[in-house]
A and B are shown apart, each in its own frame.
Chain A
Amino acid sequence: MNIVVCIKQVPDTTQVKIDPETNTLIREGVQSIINPFDMYAIEEGVRLKERFGGKTTVITMGPPQAENALREAIALGCDDAILVSDRAFAGSDTLATGYTLANAIKRTGEFDIIICGKQASDGDTAQVGPGIATQLDIPQITYVKKIEKIEDKTLVAERMTEEGFEIIQTSLPCLLTVVKEINEPRLPSLKGKMKAKKAEIISWKAIDIDADEGQLGLGGSPTWVSKIFTPPPRPKGEIFDGDPEEAATKIVHLLKDRLN
């Protein structure tokens, strides 16, 4: 079975601090990590390979330093890694990103299952996974919390919904986006880390993926940022650090009308 896992390198938001003066993010010294949701995609991709044989290829679109994310994915058990990187991709919105990744996946050859995290923690759009599926014209199951079975070129999965979950069957090849509930990602193994250090990362530029230039990067992106602004900070609150009884009394008094 050929499995492709798509990942994204994102800033580690657990380290992001806010500058109290300007109310903007302090980005200096913030490390890059694999998008947390993609860790579940990698784990599932590796588990499927362990169960059914075949290989798991990890792929990312990003700047050259995204190579580190790919090496980490190899340490976690992926076999091959592909970095899709070119200045021509700069400014890509979700449409252009989906197009680029879909073209890169086509170039990898035959595939059975593509797995993505449900969304990236820096953009939170959840659009790229379905975008890739649409570009490749394959079915998708989003928000997968469990793969129930795979046999005879069909896959059955549990898809999370607001009320619980749905059990959905799809033909292969297909694309899945996965949620946290699907597994508990392993830590890298020592052998994996050693392999990752030496592994050769395949690097593709725009010309390597047989893409229509007009659909790449900024030119292929219908959405533009027209303005950015910092939201007004919340008005300063009232902090009680004395007698808790007094504080509780005062807060209850101020709020009780809103509750009735």
Chain B
Amino acid sequence: MDYLLTEEQIMLRDLCREVAEEKIKPVAAKYDREEKFPWEIVKILAQSDLCGVYIPEEYGGMGGGILELCITAEELSRGCAGIALSFAGTALGTDPILLFGNEDQKKKYLPDIASGKKLAAYGITEPAAGSDVSAMQTTARKEGDYYVLNGTKHFITNGGEAEIYTIVAMTDKSKGTRGASVFIVEKDTPGFTFGKKEEKLGIRASSTRELIFTDCRIPKENLLGREGQGFLIAMRTFDMSRPGIGAQAVGIAQGAFDAALKYATERVQFGKSIASFQGLQFMLADMATQIEAARALVYSAARQIDAGVKDVTMQSSMAKMFASDVAMQVTTDAVQIFGGYGYINEYPVEKFMRDAKITQIYEGTNQIQRSIIALNLIKESKKK
């Protein structure tokens, strides 16, 4: 299969694959078991120049785009999606700065992210505001040269481990979604603390934590874009980040498929390899085809974003939704192919299945994605 990647992109893919094979795979089960944050892998990603693949060269990155980000997320997720999330979660927290940050903000924050010295996180979800962003309770009140933040974010990826947080908060509740704004908050700012760390079904190497703001004063220079642009920033961020979730899902699916194919050719029953039975062959063929379709959709969305196509909301949603559904289906089938061995933790496929589930849920559930796609379809049909 040729994905029409450039020589540099192939170089990137091969390097990420090497990192996944040699550094991530051997420790994936351990991190999954212990739920520890994978700092040793973050260090390796930094040393290999991978933390800044999607950040412009002028800010210390490698100058790639969303496709490079997707290639990285996919390949690392083949090793362990939870560990890969330290990278992908940082990208999500960085996207608002890339999109709406002014020169000073970019100069201040991007180089440390690109070098891997600091991780980032994105804070939008709240206990009462999941899919319904307008129900957000966290507020930012302007006081002279400062904004004062109050409220709680939860389920925040990289929470507690990241140094740089982009936080969506209401500057004017009366305006609903038009009253939201986005702020950069640094770890160790007085009034910014961390709450409960979640114990999860999958992606257990990733930290998912509560962020608590209690009269947390941040300088007004940390406002991203303008006041009231919060919802726009959030949506544009998702447009950019959703192919990355799709890529993560493709990586999980591919990792599970690789294991299943190998097992199917090695496992002998009734005197021959189980891959020689047509029932399994059909499963393998369907799995591989679905993965290819998902990858094509993800790469296509990423390429459109990188080419500067204006409205990419639908493509991004389709990529995220389709790829995550494929990941769930393929990992479930992989467990099935392994039979009883698939259900125990001696083999990695049960972990792939647990990891896959979250891709259908976060950055907008797949139900929300379908709504977005449908709304866009209706909107476009009216234009005609």
Interface residues of A (CB under 8 A from B): 186-194, 197
Which of B18-26, B30-38, B359-367 sits within the interface? Answer: B18-26
* CB pair A190 B44 closer than 8 Å: no
| B229 interface residue (CB < 8 Å to A) | no
* CB pair A187 B12 closer than 8 Å: no
CA distance A176 to B23 in the complex (A): 28
- 8 tightest A-B CB contacts, nearest first: A190-B49, A189-B49, A189-B48, A191-B49, A193-B11, A186-B47, A187-B48, A187-B18
* CB pair B53 A187 closer than 8 Å: no
- What is the chain B residue whose CB lies nearest that of A191? B49
B44 in complex: contacting residue of A186, A193, A194, A197, CB < 8 Å: A186
CA distance A192 to B12 in the complex (A): 11
Residues of chain B with a CB closer than 8 A to A193's CB: 11, 15
CA distance A197 to B10 in the complex (A): 13
* CB pair A189 B8 closer than 8 Å: no
| B50 interface residue (CB < 8 Å to A) | yes
B48 in complex: contacting residue of A188, A194, A197, CB < 8 Å: A188
Interface residues of B (CB under 8 A from A): 7-8, 11-12, 15, 18-19, 22-23, 44, 47-50, 53, 62
* CB pair A190 B47 closer than 8 Å: no
Residues of chain B with a CB closer than 8 A to A186's CB: 44, 47-48
- What is the chain A residue whose CB lies nearest that of B49? A190
Tell me, rounded to whole Å, the shortest Cβ–Cβ distance linking A180 to chain B.
15
CA distance A110 to B302 in the complex (A): 51
* CB pair B22 A190 closer than 8 Å: no
A190 in complex: contacting residue of B7, B23, B53, CB < 8 Å: B53
- What is the chain B residue whose CB lies nearest that of A190? B49
* CB pair B23 A194 closer than 8 Å: no
Tell me, rounded to whole Å, the shortest Cβ–Cβ distance linking A110 to chain B.
30
Residues of chain B with a CB closer than 8 A to A189's CB: 47-49
CA distance A30 to B62 in the complex (A): 33
29 contacts between A and B (CB under 8 A): A186-B44, A186-B48, A187-B18, A187-B19, A187-B22, A187-B23, A187-B47, A187-B48, A188-B18, A188-B48, A189-B47, A189-B48, A189-B49, A190-B11, A190-B12, A190-B15, A190-B48, A190-B49, A190-B50, A190-B53, A190-B62, A191-B49, A191-B62, A192-B49, A193-B11, A193-B15, A194-B8, A197-B7, A197-B11
CA distance A195 to B206 in the complex (A): 33
- What is the chain A residue whose CB lies nearest that of B68? A190
- What is the chain A residue whose CB lies nearest that of B64? A190
